[in-house]
Every structure is written in structure tokens, then in C-alpha cells.
Amino acid sequence: MASESWPLALIWVPVAVFALAIVIGIVVRWIRAPRGTRSRLRHALGPLMSAGEKYQELHTGQRGLQDSIIESIQEQESHGSGRGTGDDDQPGLRAP
């Protein structure tokens, strides 16, 4: 019986050690996080959620939420940069 479980242990022991390392990392990030329940939860689970989002991006081929937010902010900044003087927004007030 022991000889049959040897190959199985070669698979499950590293998987269990990896899972334990992830749990320890989450607990350490939870302890070091700033005060506040939402802030602590976001800080502790942030890397795990980021990995899940990247996994989903690779499988669906769509952009993730963070990439979409960054792109929309960049678009807003590029469109908003021409509004400094206000002359372009009001064509009736242009000099002849």
C-alpha cells in the first residue's frame, strides 16, 4: 500500500505546500494592511484577484478591468488637454 501512495505524494505534497504559501501570504498581507475592513480585504486579496483577472484575460482575449480603466483615463486626459484656453470650445468668439 505504501508503494502505491508514493507517486501520489509526489504530486500532492508540492500542491499542498504551494496552497499553504498562498494562505500564509494572504494572512501576512491582512495583518500588515491599513485599518478598515474593506481596505484590509482589498489589500490582502489584491494579488489573488489580479492573478484571477489575468487568467481570465488570457482565456477570453478581452481586456481586464484595470486595463480598461487605465485606457479610459488616458482617453479623458488626451481629450481634456485641448480645453485649456476655452477658445476652441466657443467658435463664435474667435477673432476674425
Q: How many residues does the chain have?
A: 96
**Rounded mean pLDDT of the chain?**
81
pTM score? 0.59
- CA 10 – CA 23 distance, rounded (Å): 21
Q: Are 96 and 84 in contact (CB under 8 A)?
A: no
- The amino acid occupying position 20 is L
Chain segment 38-53, per-residue pLDDT in tens: 888 889 999 998 888 8
- CA 74 – CA 10 distance, rounded (Å): 49
Binned at pLDDT 50, 70 and 90, residue 95 comes out as low
- Helix (H) / strand (E) element for 26: namely helix 2-32
Per the model's pLDDT, the better-predicted residue between 64 and 15 turns out to be 15
At residue 64's C-alpha, the angle toward residues 15 and 17, to 5°, is 10
